[in-house]
Amino acid sequence: MMSRSTIAWVVAVLVICTVIMAYVSMRTKEASAAAAAAPSSAPRKKTRHRWVLVLDLDETLVHTPNEGRADPIERPFVREFLRRVAETFDEVVVFTAGTKEYASPVLDGLDPERRIFGRRLYRESCSIVELAGVLSVVKDLRRLGEADLSRVRLVDNTPSTYALQPASGVPISSFYGDPSDRALVETLARLVSEVAMDGRSS
Ligand SMILES: [Mg+2]
């Protein structure tokens, strides 16, 4: 036979255990609810389809005076532009007619943590094509190996570069150092809205 004091002690221990278990259970539910509500650290995509953005470098993102021998001048808003397109597109590719020796350090400066550009294509990836009797440097987007070129965009200040896939071309004015230039802001708005519209219509 247990004494009254022993029974009281056992009851007290049971009550304390029940309270502790209820508290732990409540905190666990709160933690999982908070985790579910927290925004994902993965980039948010606006659409179920894969969208790829291809960017020219010279006179589109930067201007490097003296034919590439001076330090590059970044186009106004280029950092914000790159951050936002990396969130919006599934992949951002740089495709430049510049040499790797010149362009690679410039791209490292724009993307020091290598989070923006998924691929880097240099001069040797360009094609020489005769356009209206003139040999021209062309960026053939089929080189990307994307299944759906209708969801690939190429922003380039030289329209002849997208002559083979004109529907993918996004024209932009040439940048030569004007500090009041806002072309990247306008281009960003166009690109983001196009991807968002595709997400709504699908
Ligand atoms: Mg260019």
Question: How many CB atoms are located within 10 Å of the residue 135 CB?
Answer: 9
Residue 108 shares a structural domain with residue 20: no
Distance, CA 144 to ligand 1 centroid (Å)? Answer: 19
pLDDT single digits (tens) 58-94: 999 999 998 777 899 999 999 999 999 999 999 999 9
Distance, CA 38 to ligand 1 centroid (Å)? Answer: 40
Residue 33 shares a structural domain with residue 56: no
Distance, CA 58 to ligand 1 centroid (Å)? Answer: 4
- Going across the sheet that includes 152-156, the strands are 117-121, 91-95, 52-55, 152-156, 169-171
Distance, CA 155 to ligand 1 centroid (Å)? Answer: 9
Q: Are the CB atoms for 92 and 64 separated by under 8 Å? A: no
Residue 89 shares a structural domain with residue 147: yes
Residues acting as catalytic residues: 56, 58
* 19 is a domain residue: yes
* 86 is a domain residue: yes
Report the candidate in 58, 56, 118, 108 with the shortest Cα–Cα distance to residue 86: 118
pLDDT single digits (tens) 79-135: 999 999 999 999 999 999 999 999 999 999 999 999 999 999 999 999 999 999 999
Residue 58 shares a structural domain with residue 27: no
Residue 91 shares a structural domain with residue 173: yes
Distance, CA 60 to ligand 1 centroid (Å)? Answer: 5
Q: Which domain holds residue 189?
A: 52-201
Query: What gap in Å lies between CA 73 and CA 21, rounded to an integer?
Result: 62
* 31 is a domain residue: yes
